Structure 1
Amino acid sequence: MTYLSEQQIIRRKKLDQLKMLGINPYPAEEYVVTTTIYNIQKNFTEKETISIAGRLMRLRILGKASFGEIKDHTGCMQIYLTHNHLFSDQIKKEDAYNIFLKKLIDTGDIIGIKGILFKTKMDEMTIHVHQLTLLSKSIRPLPQVKMDKNKKIYDAFSNTEQRYRMRYVDLIVNDHVKEIFLKRTRIIQKIRNFLDDKGYLEVDTPILQSIPGGAIARPFETYHNTLGIPLYLRIANELYLKRLIIGGFHGVYEFSRNFRNEGMDRLHNPEFTVLELYVAYKDYYWMMNFTEKFMKCIWNEFTKKENNLISFQTPFPRISILDSIKKYTGFDLKEMGKEELRKVCKKLHIEENIKMSKAKLIENIFEEKCEKNYINPTFIIDYPVEMSPLTKRHRDKENLSERFELIINGQEIANAYSELNDPIDQLDRLREQMKFSERENIKDESLFIDQDFIRALEFGMPPTAGIGIGIDRLVMLLTQKKSIQEVLLFPQMRPEKIVKK
């Protein structure tokens, strides 16, 4: 049997008492709502009769009169209940206050109220409740969020693990949390409108894939019983969007839910959202200019100017990744092989091992020693070819590729290429990547060559610019949150230990 607290036992007894009185604590009938708390507060009209529904957040019983607070999806408001005016359609009038309100209604219950608007002597907008209907009995008490005289919270539902695990409670008692997710929705809608206005088409591509491609990552694996084949949750949607460019679409984008069976930290969750955009007949220079306009538009829309600690003045600086590493470490990596890079990592106290590729070693050095230094938006450009197997070789610079990452506030926000459209070069690079993985016995990453994608390239893909923007990290930036878990409604967590009696 699951352990019940004293409060839970008391509330379950109240539930039984309600049923004995003939009150259904979970009625099915529609409850007619005529307005919202936001509308009441915005257009307050004294003596107006209203009907609203919401959660009872506070209740202070003062003999024959009581004050409380009701919360709907738009805000909170004070309510006033008196012995001689309160009735309910669920119980006899003479019992409505003494039995129903004083003994069987609790904070956390969802109620419907009908009443008249007035202002107290303290000039506070209040609803004088004439009718109260129980819509859903809460049999588990809410955390007690207390405030001082200045309405500053001093006893809140603030344990990080509890907040993420019980996001529904977090949203009820911590109003600022709801604002994060309302803002997230508005950000995504703004991005969608921006891209739609450019004439780009939003599409959907498969989440279940027979080959996890478009990135190097460890996938989640499942099995399709009817087809009798293994399937993988997508690690990226890049190769499918390129197929659509090959098929004749000019510009396509997708808000892609991706999955990677890898580590978790403040910047990484096993499932995450990426916006991917591909536009035909463009290159990474065009994409940098486009990204400046795009990011400045989003930043200006969702950031208060007086709080700007980051400058979005354009053009954003453009710095080669190898020049950046040289600046912040003193090491010139341009002519270095894998073993020399490993020695550099050891000197810099950066993780390295024999199985890491040259690309991974350079990536580790940049992330550990350079990335944190770029607070204002900065394009890190011209990555070594080994780091960019899906990217065109640089038209002017030997052994480099036409790739950039956008770094803001010390973290990667976007990754973009002049997309490789040479099918022979593409196949050679994927084969070389696979040979390295097999040679080093690397089994934790996707080791597949998508032959159908190579076939699609053989039909001809126009010159194309592509970009992936991490939506979760972008929301972190715009809401000033330091952890990805703060901007995900339900972040992944270890199973909860259930205490049993």
Structure 2
Amino acid sequence: MASLSHAFMSQHYIGRTPMSVSISSRAALKLLSRSSTTSSTGGSGSRRPGTALCASRPRNRRARGWRGFAASTVDASSSSSSSSSLAASASSTSTPSSTTPSSSSSSSSSSSTEPTKKKATGKKTNKGGNNKNKGGKKAHDDSPAELSSSDVRAIKVEKVAELRGRGLEPFAYRYERTDLCDALQARYADLAPGVEVRLTTDDQPDDGETVETGFDALEQPVRVAGRVVAKRSFGKKLAFLTLRDQQGTVQLFCESRRFPKADGDTPAGQLAFSDVKTLVDVGDIVGAAGGIKRTDKGELSVTVRELQMLTKAIKPLPDKFHGLTDVEKRYRQRHLDMISNPDVVSTFVARSKVTSAIRSFLEGRGFLEMETPVLHGSAGGADARPFLTYHNALARDLTLRIATELHLKRLVVGGIERVFELGRVFRNEGTSTRHNPEFTSVECYQAFADYGDMMELTESMVLSCASALGAGDTLEYQGTSISLAAPFRRVSMNDLVIEATGIDFLGGGENGGAMKHAQAVSAALACEKCEAFRGLIEGCPTTGHVLNTCFEELVESTLIQPTFVTDHPVEISPLAKPHRDFSDARVERFELFIYGRELANAFSELTDPIDQRNRLEEQVRNQTSLREAAESAALSRGGEKALAEWRENAEENYAVEVDEDFLDALEYGMPPTAGMGLGVDRLVMLLTDSASIRDVVAFPLLRQTASQREASGGESEEEEGDDEVSE
């Protein structure tokens, strides 16, 4: 059997931290046998018979196309003699990083690992780019041997079997952890470099010298647990692991003299020092116990006395910068995204704090949290296309809720004067950086209040959530400074549109009232600024819709600082009270905009059941009219085929129904009430400086991949990506 001139060794990086994955001698033998077979057949990646399986670094990494997921290399290391056989070599495999090559690991590794005094590979590079070994001979020009992800997985599965063969459980049941990484970092922040806090059971130093640490000796070892995100081995006596838990990282200082003297003396369930080099890989979850030391380089470390395998990972981790650069892949494999990018975990932790802060804030004001149905007989409380479903046992068509509003109001009628619900809402519409088909909202309703009270509540809630994340009343979002100091700016929708277009839709009609529909459309079409969205203007069924379209197209994106846009037209606000200060068609409603995005929506709630019925019936007529017009246009454009496509895909193709149960409840009397709904996802985006809603939703809904479509019998599509809604 051919022998190797060097022991196998390579490093893998997660982020900027090197990671190594060891190959057992038995697994490496199989790989060598496979490689020899390949070379004899002259296949791809073959090498000259009798030569060592060499792992020189590619001269052009970009041209070689190093991969974070699938590619794995085996690098030659100078740590053993050229006569060492593969079976006797300390061997390792890894998924290579294109961030930092292994030969320069000592200068590029993160501060979470101890640097080596000399380069691990011992290789030199001449001006021509050819790698040389210690003897000065040129390395082979063959491409480096590569292990596929399935090869690496097979090696790791063998390690699982090896652990079990030695009576070690690779998938533990529990572990008694006493310390979190960030707590250790804080507790020993003043520990000086080079100083160790020993256990009371430790022997004194051989030289008899003691150093004042400023900390009491540990009566019990610290016990930490987490994922290994970096591994560095130095010779036969020293290795460093970087361990990460949810709260932070700490280094594991693995020194052979601190472990049991021989494998036979290893306590049950514990790993020997030799196992650190051969069986522990980056990605594994381990538990470690020992003392505390700050290394000469300033890295806080646990001096490991006991090491236990808690979960053996059988797939290699991706490279932070090159293994998960595809944004879609990050969202589809969120678990890997979180492992590779700690900031993603921080965002989800922040989200949890925000939802907790919302609950605490509302409960502190006397609101009760209630749960209302997700399955509705008809979609109400908002104007959006619902998801449709069918209940077999009841033989009934149902929709997923598009809002929680109407059921919460019925609870107010029933006597719960302050009520809220924080939950999921579903709308069968497109996606964008600020739209997801399912999202989280909080809706709250307060009896004996109006929309002015809701403005104060909304301001205070937003600031309370910011405070929960340690922010003040000023934050930065996407490079823009945002002031959350109360009071927020208040301005009517009509005034903002007048500023943008010069058209007074609600005051430019007869006797200073609202314009008639035809007059409003003509005025908008005559405005040069409205030219870009003429089609939208022409499709507006009422003056209020014309005003709202001009606002959305010309004004909304300009509202960077927190702004309450107030006093909307009645045609787009069927659930709000008529404005008490205006005789025209305005209502007491506001929307909160920050950074050009709607964050909250609130009303003085309409409590007149007769007026409410009239408005809902008018909403049904308007929606029906719009749908019939769109169907007619599709039919004339492309016949029955175009009509069928429109009915299947158009977002406006949905029926609006009057909710008779809600109207019946209003007839029993609802007290004066104000309500507010706030988009939790968008609030978290703002407070965490996240550019897309998908960054704050753990598992966003995505288009099927080609393989998923094929498996489900769907048609193949040429382009991947997601449908976008108009921003």
TM-score (ref. length: structure 1):
0.90
Q: Secondary structure at the match of 1:126?
A: strand
Partner letter of residue 531 of structure 2? K
Q: Does 2:626 correspond to 1:481? A: no
Q: Does 2:500 correspond to 1:328? A: yes
Q: Does 2:568 correspond to 1:383? A: yes
Q: Does 2:193 correspond to 1:43? A: no
| Corresponding residue of 1:133 | 308
Q: Give the CA deviation at 1:165.
A: 1.5
Q: What CA RMSD, in Å, does the superposition of the two structures yield over aligned residues?
A: 2.8
Check whether the contact 2:229–2:283 (CA below 8 A) recurs between aligned residues. Answer: yes
Q: Secondary structure at the match of 1:33?
A: coil
| Corresponding residue of 2:608 | 422
Check whether the contact 2:562–2:594 (CA below 8 A) recurs between aligned residues. Answer: yes
Instruction: Decide which moves more: 210-219 or 45-54.
Output: 45-54
Select 1:102's aligned residue among 269, 277, 280.
Answer: 277
| Corresponding residue of 1:151 | none
Partner letter of residue 433 of structure 1? Q
Instruction: Decide which moves more: 119-128 or 447-456.
Output: 119-128
Task: Write the distance in 1 (CA, Å) between the matches of 2:540 and 2:154.
Answer: 57
Deviations 1:154-180 (A, max 9, x none): 667443222212221222221222221
Task: Write the distance in 2 (CA, Å) between the matches of 1:300 and 1:36.
Answer: 24
| Corresponding residue of 1:83 | 256
Task: Write the distance in 2 (CA, Å) between the matches of 1:402 and 1:384.
Answer: 9
| Corresponding residue of 1:148 | none
Deviations 1:441-493 (A, max 9, x none): 36623411110111001111111111111111111111122211111111111
Q: Give the CA deviation at 1:236.
A: 0.2
Select 1:337's aligned residue among 514, 517, 520.
Answer: 517
Q: Give the CA deviation at 1:360.
A: 4.6
Q: Which runs of structure 1 show a deviation greater than 6 angstroms over 4 or more consecutive aligned residues?
A: 88-92
Q: Does 2:328 correspond to 1:161? A: yes
Q: Give the CA deviation at 1:18.
A: 3.0
Q: Give the CA deviation at 1:315.
A: 3.0
Check whether the contact 2:385–2:428 (CA below 8 A) recurs between aligned residues. Answer: yes
| Corresponding residue of 1:34 | 178
Does 1 or 2 have the higher relative contact order (CA < 8 Å, sep 6+)? 1
Check whether the contact 2:254–2:273 (CA below 8 A) recurs between aligned residues. Answer: no
Q: Does 2:205 correspond to 1:61? A: no
Check whether the contact 1:80–1:126 (CA below 8 A) recurs between aligned residues. Answer: yes
| Corresponding residue of 2:595 | 409
Deviations 1:335-356 (A, max 9, x none): 1516437736861336527655
Check whether the contact 1:402–1:417 (CA below 8 A) recurs between aligned residues. Answer: yes
Task: Write the distance in 2 (CA, Å) between the matches of 1:346 and 1:436.
Answer: 23
Q: Does 2:161 correspond to 1:16? A: yes
Q: Give the CA deviation at 1:226.
A: 1.7
| Corresponding residue of 1:459 | 668
Q: Secondary structure at the match of 2:442?
A: strand
Task: Write the distance in 2 (CA, Å) between the matches of 1:134 and 1:399.
Answer: 70
Check whether the contact 2:433–2:694 (CA below 8 A) recurs between aligned residues. Answer: yes
Check whether the contact 1:235–1:259 (CA below 8 A) recurs between aligned residues. Answer: yes
Partner letter of residue 657 of structure 2? F
Instruction: Decide which moves more: 301-310 or 372-381.
Output: 301-310
Deviations 1:38-88 (A, max 9, x none): 222222381232222111111111111111111112210111112343359
Q: Secondary structure at the match of 2:449?
A: coil
Deviations 1:226-245 (A, max 9, x none): 21212211100100010011
Task: Write the distance in 2 (CA, Å) between the matches of 1:371 and 1:296.
Answer: 22
Aligned pairs (5 A) from 1:257-276? 257-276=424-443
Q: Secondary structure at the match of 2:585?
A: coil
Q: Give the CA deviation at 1:305.
A: 5.8
Q: Give the CA deviation at 1:214.
A: 0.4
Deviations 1:228-278 (A, max 9, x none): 212211100100010011111111111121000101001100111111111
Deviations 1:272-300 (A, max 9, x none): 11111111111112222333333344445
Partner letter of residue 67 of structure 1? F
Task: Write the distance in 1 (CA, Å) between the matches of 2:239 and 2:613.
Answer: 75
Task: Write the distance in 2 (CA, Å) between the matches of 1:156 and 1:125.
Answer: 29
Check whether the contact 1:89–1:131 (CA below 8 A) recurs between aligned residues. Answer: no
Q: Give the CA deviation at 1:326.
A: 1.8
Instruction: Decide which moves more: 423-432 or 43-52.
Output: 43-52
Q: 1:452 and 1:16, CA in 2 relative to 1: closer, same or farther beyond 3 A?
A: same
| Corresponding residue of 2:623 | 437
Q: 1:63 and 1:313, CA in 2 relative to 1: closer, same or farther beyond 3 A?
A: closer
Task: Write the distance in 2 (CA, Å) between the matches of 1:439 and 1:307.
Answer: 45
Task: Write the distance in 2 (CA, Å) between the matches of 1:492 and 1:38.
Answer: 33
| Corresponding residue of 1:71 | 244
Deviations 1:309-368 (A, max 9, x none): 222343322211122112123333331516437736861336527655435543332122
Aligned residues: 490
Q: Secondary structure at the match of 1:263?
A: coil
Check whether the contact 1:258–1:271 (CA below 8 A) recurs between aligned residues. Answer: yes
Task: Write the distance in 2 (CA, Å) between the matches of 1:171 and 1:11.
Answer: 22
Q: 1:304 and 1:391, CA in 2 relative to 1: closer, same or farther beyond 3 A?
A: closer
Check whether the contact 2:386–2:399 (CA below 8 A) recurs between aligned residues. Answer: yes
Q: Give the CA deviation at 1:409.
A: 1.7
Q: 1:307 and 1:209, CA in 2 relative to 1: closer, same or farther beyond 3 A?
A: closer
Task: Write the distance in 2 (CA, Å) between the matches of 1:89 and 1:294.
Answer: 61
Q: 1:98 and 1:284, CA in 2 relative to 1: closer, same or farther beyond 3 A?
A: closer
Instruction: Decide which moves more: 176-185 or 14-23.
Output: 14-23
Deviations 1:25-49 (A, max 9, x none): 2133x22112222222222381232
5+ long unaligned stretches in structure 1: 146-153
State the identity %. 38
Aligned pairs (5 A) from 1:211-360? 211-302=378-469, 303-304=471-472, 307=475, 309-334=481-506, 335-337=515-517, 339-340=521-522, 343=525, 347-349=531-533, 352=536, 356-358=540-542, 359-360=544-545
Partner letter of residue 487 of structure 2? P
Structure of greater Rg = 2
